[in-house]
Amino acid sequence: MTQEFILDFGREALQTTILVSAPMLGFGLVIGVIVSIFQAVTSIQEMTLTFIPKILAVMLAMVLFFPWMLQLMLSYTSKIIINIPMYIR
């Protein structure tokens, strides 16, 4: 195992993690900004108002993107398992 191999392995793991979490984080961010703007415009400063829309948005993102996320995780995992003999060398 070379340093280049380990860096590429770690980079690919981080890239897969970011890609899998990006839809849920993006939906949560957009809904959070919308709720914050709504609170600023209406002067409603209820702290719990932000949680329910964000939770629903993250759940919606998970339902919409789950097949893609599952395919991405399965392809990454199968690539790792298939290449185990190469990693041992």
Q: Which two tokens stand for residue 34?
A: 């919308």
Higher local confidence (pLDDT), 70 or 3: 70
Rounded distance between C-alpha atoms, residue 49 and residue 77, angstroms: 38
Read off the pLDDT of residues 8-58 as tens digits, 9 standing for 90 and up: 999 999 999 999 999 999 999 999 999 999 999 998 888 888 899 999 999
Residue 61: is its pLDDT beyond 90? Answer: yes
Domain boundaries of the chain, sorted by first residue:
26-88
pTM beyond 0.85: the answer is no
Rounded distance between C-alpha atoms, residue 47 and residue 55, angstroms: 14
Instruction: Give the pLDDT confidence score for residue 49 in this predicted structure.
Output: 85
Instruction: Give the pLDDT confidence score for residue 86 in this predicted structure.
Output: 86
